[in-house]
Amino acid sequence: MATMKSLIGLINKIQRACTVLGDHGGEGMSLWEALPTVAVVGGQSSGKSSVLESVVGRDFLPRGSGIVTRRPLVLQLHKTEEGTTEYAEFLHAPKKRFADFAAVRKEIEDETDRITGKSKQISNIPIQLSIYSPNVVNLTLIDLPGLTKVAVEGQPDSIVQDIENMVRSYVEKPNCIILAISPANQDIATSDAIKLAREVDPTGERTFGVATKLDIMDKGTDCLDVLEGRSYRLQHPWVGIVNRSQADINKRVDMIAARRKEREYFETSPEYGHLASRMGSEYLAKLLSQHLETVIRQKIPSIVALINKSIDEINAELDRIGRPIAVDSGAQLYTILELCRAFDRVFKEHLDGGRPGGDRIYGVFDHQLPAALKKLPFDRHLSTKNVQKVVSEADGYQPHLIAPEQGYRRLIDGSISYFKGPAEATVDAVHFVLKELVRKSISETEELKRFPTLASDIAAAANEALERFRDESRKTVLRLVDMESSYLTVEFFRKLHLEPEKEKPNPRNAPAPNADPYSDNHFRKIGSNVSAYINMVCDTLRNSLPKAVVYCQVREAKRSLLNFFYAQVGRKEKEKLGAMLDEDPQLMERRGTLAKRLELYKQARDDIDAVAWK
């Protein structure tokens, strides 16, 4: 089984990699959140900083009044061999080693101000600090801003709630071990740290209680009820700490000497002597290290499961948004053609009914065209008055002898010309539907979403092709209308003259009524005959116009929508092909982030396999 050092070192390594990628916990479930951590929680002036410095054995944390810790400090402790030099490294300055811990304090202050400014605001972006020393145990601690009840000058009124929300976002995670710091010279029941720990960990399974400032309690009082678990019981034992006095801090008393002084206090104390082996900062560090190692070992299966799930999700998203494109022209041309075919498939699905939209073309033929034909002004054109006018004009100076053939032709030609409007309107309506289907198909082709330039080029090429198809279709439907004028159906009029006269026989020598060839009845008869012929033509065009439109526009759109575009792309140079595959910068950034995260998870899985099951 892996050693404590290797397990905690493994978590430290993964944690640092997560932070580099912006995954630093405190906001939602992530790999960082799945890693067991120890969060240090306490109110201001609870002795929290002194506890951390005692564990490290170095004086390195910023001090002052008000809220000093304004960003989480991820403190990773690495035990080195005896006799080696102590040093510290920050994740934001990986190539710089700090042997002077006063400089570490200054760097923490400067890095805090870099994000929060001088305004005393807080930020949940952590500072990652690693300390290598023979005087520490392998342990990771997260120092969180101290809980407070009052905003100081220069801070917003919401600062109290903001700090509590940040601290809560860490300690409410099930993999977080809570180190609750409470001063012994105050009532534990009113401790901010214990109150918060009780809310997020009511059973006390994740909470370690630390009582500080035991040496400055009021004379005649002690903290035994707390330390022995009678006052407030936790699943884990309470640990008492003796902080350095302010005089020691001012005199810069060596932390190793302070640890020795702390041991002597407990060993010689009449109140706590029987607990001396379980008191002090050194014992606390070992206790936390051992517990953290145990929790890590328990959590490894769930961490591996999360990593595998995350790898699958990242691969799925990379497949969805597309993998990187090769740079050679052949691969780029192949990619462009494949994307064009993907669009073409979606477009055909719309036309063929696999996706909605193609039915609107039938709606043009079944509703719009018949409605337009019904509105044509044949009643006005074939009124008795207009028929008489047209026939008279057609006869000229010589009135017709038997039937006004020229008048018939003019009336028929004039009537047929009205069909051109609905014919062209049908062409335009289908063109509009096809353009809309192109737009929808572009937006629904998932593969094109990462290439806005190519999507725009395909849309432009498709619309240009539709314009050509519309022009050809318009010419064809107008030819159909003109063909009806160019040759009339003679049999229709011959049948009219062969129909028997449905009139009663007149008495011999009785004058025939309406014998006047220029009477209203005569012109009404002509108008009726022309109307019957035009209705026949209308029925013919109602059937033939949709066929022509489908043949010239819909059929061609299915067969050769991008043929001209394919020919153009094939002649483009490499640079122009690359420009067509120019991606959305946000998408490229997202792919890069996913690729880095995928690499992190794969490396983490490999590291766990190499370390956890040795």
608 within domain boundaries: no
User: Is the Cα torsion angle 149, 155, 159, 162 positive or negative in sign?
Assistant: negative
Output the pLDDT for position 22. Answer: 66
Looking at the fold, whether 398 and 257 belong to one and the same domain comes out as no
Distance of CA 43 to the CA centre of its chain: 39
User: Are residues 220 and 341 both part of a single domain?
Assistant: no
Task: Please write down the HEC assignment for all residues of 271-305.
Answer: CCHHHHHHCCHHHHHHHHHHHHHHHHHHHHHHHHH
Residue 594 in any domain: the answer is: no
Helix ranges (DSSP H) in 514-553? 520-549
Does 349 lie in the same domain as 494? yes
For residue 1, the model assigns a pLDDT of 43
**Degrees (nearest 5) of the Cα angle 392, 397, 399?**
55
Task: Tell me what pLDDT residue 312 has.
Answer: 92
Identify which of 87, 90, 73 has the alpha carbon closest to the alpha carbon of residue 133: 87
47: left (phi over 0), alpha (psi -120 to 50) or beta: left
Alpha helices in 396-519 (DSSP H): 405-417, 420-444, 452-486, 490-498
Q: Range of 91's domain?
A: 41-279
Q: Which two tokens stand for residue 183?
A: 């001063």
Give the neighbor-by-neighbor strand order of the sheet with 127-133: 93-98, 87-90, 127-133, 73-79, 139-143, 37-42, 176-183, 207-212, 239-240
In a domain, 592, yes or no: no
Reduced to 3 states, what is the DSSP secondary structure of residue 480? helix
pLDDT value of residue 24: 58
CATH of the domain at 260: 3.40.50.300
Domain tally, the chain: 2
Residues 484 and 394 in one domain: yes
Report the distance separating Cα 379 and Cα 372, nearest Å.
15
Residue 274 and residue 373 in one domain: no
- CA 130/CA 96 separation, integer angstroms: 12
Q: Is position 23 within any domain? A: no
How far is residue 604's CA from residue 78's CA, in Å, rounded to a whole number? 19
Angle (deg, nearest 10), helices 520-549 and 452-486? 150
Note whether 542 and 373 are within 8 A (CB): yes
Please check whether residue 16 lies inside any domain of the structure: no
The answer to whether residues 430 and 474 touch, using CB atoms and an 8 Å cutoff, is no
**What Å distances lie between residue 491 and 346, 494, 538, CA to CA?**
49, 5, 17
Q: Determine the pLDDT at residue 198.
A: 92
265 in the same domain as 135: yes
Name every residue whose Cβ is closer than 8 Å to that of residue 87 and which is 6 or more positions away in sequence: 97, 98, 99, 131, 132
Residues 221 and 364 placed together within one structural domain of the fold: no
Task: Chunk the chain into consecutive blocks of 10 residues (it has 614) and report each block's average pLDDT, rounded to whole numbers.
Answer: 64 74 58 83 85 86 73 89 90 88 90 80 87 88 85 73 89 91 86 91 92 86 89 89 76 80 91 92 91 86 86 87 73 87 94 89 94 91 86 73 77 92 96 96 89 91 96 96 89 68 48 56 86 92 96 95 88 75 78 85 83 56
The tokens describing 72, both together, are 């989480």
Are 470 and 360 part of one and the same domain?
A: yes
Q: Please report whether residue 329 resides in a domain.
A: no
Cα separation of 59 and 226, whole Å?
28
Would residue 296 count as lying in a domain? no
pLDDT at 328: 75
**What's the CATH number where 355 sits?**
1.20.120.1240
Rounding to the nearest 10 degrees, give the CA dihedral for residues 563, 565, 570, 573. 180
Are 343 and 445 in contact by the 8 Å Cβ rule? The answer is: yes
For tokens 């190519």, the residue is 454
Single pTM value for the model:
0.62
Q: Is residue 13 part of a domain?
A: no
Q: State how far the alpha carbon of 434 is from the alpha carbons of 41, 338, 358, 554, 561, in Å.
A: 65, 22, 8, 8, 11
Which of 234, 251, 279 terminates a domain? The answer is 279
